[in-house]
Amino acid sequence: MPSIQNVIFDLDGTLIDSSASILASYNAAFECAGLTPVLALTADIIGPPLRPTLQMLSGSSDTELLNGLTRAFIAHYDSTGYRYTTVFEGVDAFLRELAEAAVPLFIVTNKRIAPTKLILDYLGWAGLFQGAYALDSWGSPLPSKEAVIRRTIELHSLQPDATLYVGDRDDDRFAAEQAGVAFFLVPWGYGMCSPTNMDEVQDSTFGWKALRLHSAPR
């Protein structure tokens, strides 16, 4: 791995366990609509953006239905649900260690930007990151996490080969590879790892100690 100067983190499943909050808000949205999801509300559904997940859970592409479910989810999550968020063990201390060492830190997430900022404020993390970005951070939503990583690099004049993206899923790995930055896969969270990736998930390789070694300022 090249010398790393900047670290971009995924949020859900990487820094925070948002499963209770997200699943509660999906449940509230379907209860509001008087519907039963066609798939079980488990952590397996967490990761992709809201709208595609609602379409998958409802088994419908009806615009009016999806709009209603989206509004209900947002109303619950942005007022109450996000407060069920918890932090993975060791994450808070490590983020503060990196920030104190003047490592530039960023968030790139599929979560909407409004609750992302609510969560960062709620956890006392807002001051640790130089930027937090989502698909909807700009006037016209960007099409993918890869595009958000690229926009973050551009906005902050980062060197791609000196930037690390940390996530918990194969799609995080793909986004990092497409954006031309190094990737670090954490073994916790909602990871959907292919067998090839799982071969790489060894105790000697992963964990905050390993990331600390890769992220230390040079």
Chosen domain end from 27, 53, 83: 83
Please indicate, yes or no, if residue 1 is contained in any of the structural domains: no
Residue 150 vs residues 4, 67, 189, 211: alpha-carbon distances, Å? 17, 29, 24, 22
| Mean predicted confidence (pLDDT) in 19-43 | 95
Sequential DSSP letters for 194-214? -HHHHHH--TTT-SHHHHHHH
Q: Are residues 143 and 69 in the same domain?
A: no
Q: Domain containing 41 — which CATH number?
A: 1.10.150
Q: Are residues 75 and 161 in the same domain?
A: no
Looking at per-residue pLDDT, the higher value among 7 and 193 belongs to 7
For all residues of the chain together, what is the average pLDDT?
87
**What is the residue type of 194?**
S
Do β-strands 105-109 and 131-134 pair in parallel, antiparallel, or remain unpaired? parallel
Q: Are residues 50 and 158 in the same domain?
A: no
Q: Domain containing 190 — which CATH number?
A: 3.40.50.1000
Q: Are residues 79 and 118 in the same domain?
A: no
Domain that holds residue 170: 6-17+86-215
Q: Are residues 76 and 147 in the same domain?
A: no
Q: Are residues 38 and 143 in the same domain?
A: no
Chosen domain end from 66, 83, 100: 83
Total structural domains within the chain? 2
Residue 194's pLDDT is: 45
Q: Of 39-53, 126-140, 161-175, 178-192, which range is least confident?
A: 178-192
- The per-residue pLDDT for range 64-83, each reduced to its tens digit, is 999 999 999 999 999 999 99
- The per-residue pLDDT for range 148-174, each reduced to its tens digit, is 999 999 999 999 999 999 999 889 999
Residue % of the chain over a pLDDT of 90: 74
Q: Are residues 45 and 90 in the same domain?
A: no
Give 102's contacts (C-beta < 8 A, 6+ positions apart).
Answer: 217
| Mean predicted confidence (pLDDT) in 130-156 | 96
Sequential DSSP letters for 51-112? HHHHHHHHT---HHHHHHHHHHHHHHHHHTGGGG-EE-TTHHHHHHHHHHTT--EEEEESS-
**Taking 90 as the threshold, does the pLDDT of residue 24 lie above it?**
yes
Please indicate, yes or no, if residue 115 is contained in any of the structural domains: yes
